[in-house]
Amino acid sequence: MLREKIDAWAIECADRIAHKHRQRALTYKGLKEESDALAIWIYETYMIEGIKRQTPVIVYGHKENEMLVSFVASIKSGNPYVPVDSSVPVERFKQIIQASGARLILSPKTVPDEIKELTDLNLIIKDNISLFDVLDFYSRYIGQVPPTEWQVGLDEVYYIIYTSGSTGVPKGVQITLRALESYLNWVNTAYQPVEKSEVYLNQAPFSFDLSVMDLYMSLSTGGTLWSVDKEQIANPRELFESFKESEVSIWVSTPSFAEVCLMDKSFNQELLPNLKRFLFCGEVLTHDCASKLVQRFPKGLVENLYGPTEATVAVTTVTITPEIHDKYNPLPVGAAKPDCKVLICNSEALTEYTKSGDLTKKPEILPEEERGEIIIAGPNVSIGYLNNPEQTAKAFFTWEENGEKLQAYRTGDAGMWKEGQLFFFGRLDFQVKLHGYRIELGDIEENLRQIDWIDNAVVLPIERKGKVDYLHAFLTANKDITSEFEEAQAVREALRSSLPDYMIPRRISFLERMPMTPNGKVDRRALLGGQK
């Protein structure tokens, strides 16, 4: 299993760097020894405190080596970990602690005082952990090995990632070791990384499930994880210096992060001579972004993936070859991994189906080229939201086929199958009603991106007195904007050939770059915050 694979590298390539962040490096030998020691401390602490097995361990920090040690130590002690990035507001941190029922917080940073003051939760807090300083528990347990039977089992929860909830309370997505193994078997087979050779870029915070792709692809194959932090990302010169030093061979990020990098002409194969594959997930990969990457990185394959946190990172993939690039706009997100089903169903009918509780008849699967809600079923699907049966019942159900029962998840995403490729059209809840018309914002965004001088587009509904008043499009362009009024008029004229008048945004703004969240996605809230 995964733990054995990670530990094996400590024997086979003990001094190979498992994780590099700025000037600090963690070897596979160090990862094993330090996680073994910490796992024994966690296990004994839980025993003394009477804490049940599989009680989550919160790991709080950013890109420090100690976070990886804490992740592996948690699963070796039989408990899932919950990554919480230090950029998370304290109130949200409190919500995660309360919702998860966690009793232990491990952190290489100082945990905020407001968290330490939560005395009613009986928290055990071990912060300012530095495994390069010999701590009491580390010196006591170094050299000891936790028994294999302690570790997280195949059908037990391995990690929990909290995502935004529609109720304002974050939802804890539980991913089992079986689901993670299913994902890793697929990507490692599909992309054939060379063991003990690859360097993976880690752009996303560990609290964002995209990081699972680079973290565990790297650890399962004896690779090196190269982390860039939020300060480096905010400073292009420092970021590009890190790229030069990194020898990255496999790039993992959101498309938005790549688009920001592409604004610098030096972002090319010369900067990253070893780069052979881009892996994109979490957002729409635009036609223009893919085109620029192919031109600037002739040795690099561009892979477009799709999948929600609830289905363990990703479930479809496609290589953007020249043929795919020229044939499709928007680009497809590919074919499904072999052990899962990706289906398109009528969303309203599916709601009635899951409400009825009668699962003897399957909901209708829509034919090719018909849009509907994307449903994912298979061993990679989450077992549900932690301590949240109401939201779990709305999103998860059992899919039965040929006598086999599969865990299924309603993504809330719009998509369709065409010529063996899945196409993603954004969120179903990005549908708005304006002047009596139902409008898919993703539809407008795709039409905007098809204008040859538009790089990216985000369309937001602007509300007045509780209802949508008009649509505002935010655009980035690949040419100089000399007159925003004239260029906006040109955009509207271009849209009129493909969209009805009621779908054409009233306001159009041009930006040098899209604002990004700490996860590397377009920050729609920041755009909305600029409205008056």
Residue 310 has pLDDT above 50, yes or no: yes
Contacts of 196 (CB under 8 A, 6+ apart): 9, 12, 13, 16, 221, 222, 223
pLDDT for 357: 63
pLDDT for 532: 44
Q: What is the pLDDT of residues 447-463, one digit of tens each?
A: 999 999 999 999 999 98
Instruction: Measure CA of the first residue to CA of the last residue in the chain; give whole Å.
Output: 54
Q: The whole model's pTM is what?
A: 0.88
- Of 131, 127, 119, 128, the C-alpha closest to 72 is 131
CA angle 526, 529, 532 (to 5 degrees): 150
* β pairing state of 199-202 and 341-345: unpaired
439's torsion region: left (phi>0), alpha (psi -120 to 50) or beta?
beta
Report the distance separating Cα 166 and Cα 197, nearest Å: 42
- Of 422, 213, 210, 426, the C-alpha closest to 333 is 422
Cα 229 versus chain centre, distance: 16
Six-digit token pair at 37?
Answer: 């020691």
Report the distance separating Cα 66 and Cα 178, nearest Å: 25
Residue 120 has pLDDT above 50, yes or no: yes
Domains of the chain in sequence order:
2-253 (3.40.50.12780), 337-423 (2.30.38.10), 435-529 (3.30.300.30)
Q: Are 128 and 110 in contact (CB under 8 A)?
A: yes
Q: What is the mean pLDDT of the chain?
A: 92
Contacts of 246 (CB under 8 A, 6+ apart): 20, 199, 201, 226, 272
Best-predicted range by mean pLDDT among 13-17, 343-347, 431-435?
Answer: 13-17
Residue 296 has pLDDT above 50, yes or no: yes
* β pairing state of 431-434 and 437-440: antiparallel
DSSP letters spanning 401-455: ETTEEEEEEEEEEEEEEETTEEEEEEEGGGEEEETTEEEEHHHHHHHHHTSTTEE
Report the distance separating Cα 290 and Cα 226, nearest Å: 23
Amino acid at 302: V
Q: What is the pLDDT of residues 477-520, one digit of tens each?
A: 999 999 999 999 999 999 998 888 889 999 999 999 999 988 88
Provide the pLDDT confidence category of residue 157 given band limits of 50, 70 and 90.
very high
